[in-house]
Structure 1
Amino acid sequence: MAQLLKVHGSENKFFILDQTQLNNQLSDDELKQLAIKICNPKNNILDGADGLLVVNDSKYNDCLGQMRVINADGSEAKMCGNGLRTVSRYLSEKLNQDSFKIETFETNLSVEKSENFYDNVPAFSVEISPISFAKDDLPFQYKDKLELIDTEVPEFISGQKFTAVAVPNPHLISFVDEVDEDDLGELGQALNAPNAYFPEGVNVSFCEILDDNKLFVQTYERGVGFTNACGTGMSATSLVFALLNEDYFNPDEDITVYNPGGLVKTNIQLSAHKEDSKIHLIGNATFTHTLEISENNLHAGTLDNIEISETGEEDNYQDFVNSINEA
């Protein structure tokens, strides 16, 4: 029998599949089809998820493992900050280490166990990198600009300014007085359909500045749509916030980022060369269910005979969310 985990970071929900535990690993096409099926809420497997996180052995000696991110639509993302925290916890408990590196699509990232956010709500801190504002790295095309930083783009939304940054997933960020979900959804859909500006699509985030080092971020995620939270989106937004809002940014403290699924903290260390800045994302890594399935059915994508059991951790997380709402 093969085992999967249902997990979340800030209610950004995933299934984890550790391929190192299988007799025969799934092919790329099998992984894509599995992600499409298991993440679709219409298939009634724990209401679906935003993606499938695949754990493999790393080709690097200084990494405990490799993480791949297969979105709900079967596309592969370069990184996922919320997912990385859950994989970090998984590898930490599997191999009994609290500080290590994980191989991702584009780079090897440092992760470490953090103090719990709340009673029985485990938390991990993960490095988010590399950073680039260059048009070719997102990629984007707008007039003759090599970077898009705090720029009005009336073709997107009149009167709003936008910043584009890759961390390494591409993000388009706008600071607003109040998040308008209709505007965010329409822009997110438009820029993830064939368009003249972001040929490979882009994650779109709107951010409200609530106070010094306190933000609310909502994201329309490429390959997924609206999510409760996007880890790289909150990380990218925190970086842009620090760069553009020195009156509200305190570099000596973490930034608290609220999202529809709860909250995370980010730590931003700015550099004179903005691409050399450092980002760490800190938040929960919650395991809600274990799933048992035969390996043959896993390869075939036959998901109608799965044994599911709850961990009880979601109750603890909801207590944490309630404490936020009461604060």
Structure 2
Amino acid sequence: MRRRFDKMEGLGNDFVIFDARREALAMDATLARRLADRQLGIGCDQLILLEPSDRAELRMRIWNHDGSEVQSCGNATRCVVALTGARTIETAGGLLSGSAAGDRIEVSLGEPRFGWDEVPLDYPMDTAALPMRWGPLEGPAALSVGNPHLVFFVPDSATVSLDELGPAIEHDPAFPERINVNVASIAPDGALQLRTWERGAGLTRACGTGACATAVAAIRARRAVSPVEVRMTGGTLRVAWAPSEPIRMTGAATHVFSGEIAL
């Protein structure tokens, strides 16, 4: 069986997208992992499957490079909006909306959640500053933006050994669904300089939900003012948020190529 796919990227975070709205496609961890493999498959950070939805224009399912299925991905959402023109998208992390204005895509990720059981954490803690430490990283904010995130504010995010600390934090027993790890510093102009260790994917050039979580944490702690620029290796996102409002993220999404593969 041969199936068409599209390869897209958002700030260097790349995706293989299969549209299964008209013809179903059975996807599981093993197949997703094979397709995401950069030597033996197509290669991507995340594999995306589009399915019919009775709540939105389509349903988006997301598998990480390691085959784990996750609830939400901001960069993938922008890519799906750019590819399909969909304005409403159902995900396991909630109902999302998006719109295109030229080469810029705005996505609404809904309201962030701050309850310890909403992140989730394994036991009650103050999510504004967890009483936890891993090496030089301590006191992170914890929140969910459709998927779970920790945010550490540090003097210089570029100096943090995230490739060493990321795996230990991701798999800490305090986080029953594992967790995404963000380290951010404040630039002189008020922008956020961000690096992210994504659960199931590792260090990435950019993370849309990581940018949103970090911006919300910074605005909530009065370290930044909305809207805020979030700068990552792959590029910059603009994130706007106010309490009791949804998070709005704006950035680029690029179609790389289309192809067919025998499954």
TM-score (norm 2): 0.92
Does structure 1 retain, via aligned residues, the 8 Å contact 2:193–2:232?
A: yes
**Counterpart of 1:131 in structure 2: which amino acid?**
P
Show structure 1 runs of 5+ residues with no match: 117-121, 299-327
User: Percent sequence identity over matched residues?
Assistant: 31
* Cα distance per residue 1:45-68 (max 9 Å; x no partner): 3xx2111111111112xx221111
Q: Report the Cα distance in structure 2 between the residues aligned to 1:190 and 1:244, rounded to whole angstroms.
A: 26
Structure-1 residue corresponding to 2:38: 41
Does structure 2 retain, via aligned residues, the 8 Å contact 1:5–1:287?
A: yes
- Superposed, 1:57-206 pairs within 5 Å as 57-60=52-55, 63-92=56-85, 100-114=87-101, 116=102, 122-141=103-122, 144-145=124-125, 147-151=126-130, 153-154=132-133, 156-158=134-136, 160-180=138-158, 183-193=161-171, 195-206=172-183
Q: Check if 1:27 corresponds to 2:14.
A: no
Q: Report the Cα distance in structure 2 between the residues aligned to 1:9 and 1:215, rounded to whole angstroms.
A: 18
Q: Check if 1:284 corresponds to 2:252.
A: yes
Does structure 2 retain, via aligned residues, the 8 Å contact 1:191–1:197?
A: no
Shift of the alpha carbon at 1:136?
1.2
Count of residues in correspondence between the two structures: 262
* Cα distance per residue 1:223-257 (max 9 Å; x no partner): 110111111000010001111125x42x4xx3111
Does structure 2 retain, via aligned residues, the 8 Å contact 1:107–1:130?
A: no
Q: Check if 1:52 corresponds to 2:47.
A: yes
Structure-2 residue corresponding to 1:319: none
Does structure 2 retain, via aligned residues, the 8 Å contact 1:160–1:176?
A: no
* Cα distance per residue 1:50-89 (max 9 Å; x no partner): 11111111112xx221111111111111100000000011
Q: Report the Cα distance in structure 2 between the residues aligned to 1:280 and 1:218, rounded to whole angstroms.
A: 20
Structure-2 residue corresponding to 1:309: none
Kindly report the root-mean-square deviation, in angstroms, between the aligned alpha carbons of the 2 structures.
2.0
Q: Report the Cα distance in structure 1 between the residues aligned to 2:76 and 2:137, rounded to whole angstroms.
A: 34
Q: Report the Cα distance in structure 2 between the residues aligned to 1:192 and 1:167, rounded to whole angstroms.
A: 16
Structure-2 residue corresponding to 1:267: 240
Q: Report the Cα distance in structure 1 between the residues aligned to 2:119 and 2:174, rounded to whole angstroms.
A: 10
17 and 158 in structure 1: CA distance in 2 versus 1, 3 angstrom threshold = same
TM-score (norm 1): 0.75
Q: Report the Cα distance in structure 2 between the residues aligned to 1:85 and 1:159, rounded to whole angstroms.
A: 31
**Counterpart of 2:185 in structure 1: which amino acid?**
E
Q: Report the Cα distance in structure 2 between the residues aligned to 1:141 and 1:181, rounded to whole angstroms.
A: 30
Shift of the alpha carbon at 1:160?
3.4
**Counterpart of 2:231 in structure 1: which amino acid?**
Y
Q: Report the Cα distance in structure 2 between the residues aligned to 1:75 and 1:196, rounded to whole angstroms.
A: 17
Structure index of larger Rg: 1
- Specify the SS of the correspondent of 1:189: helix
Shift of the alpha carbon at 1:108?
1.5
Structure-2 residue corresponding to 1:227: 204
Write 1 or 2 for the structure with the bigger share of helix: 1
Does structure 1 retain, via aligned residues, the 8 Å contact 2:34–2:41?
A: no
**Counterpart of 1:73 in structure 2: which amino acid?**
D
Shift of the alpha carbon at 1:42?
2.3
* Cα distance per residue 1:134-159 (max 9 Å; x no partner): 111222246x52x32134523x2346
Does structure 1 retain, via aligned residues, the 8 Å contact 2:113–2:145?
A: yes
Does structure 1 retain, via aligned residues, the 8 Å contact 2:112–2:247?
A: no
Shift of the alpha carbon at 1:40?
1.2
Q: Report the Cα distance in structure 1 between the residues aligned to 2:170 and 2:152, rounded to whole angstroms.
A: 17
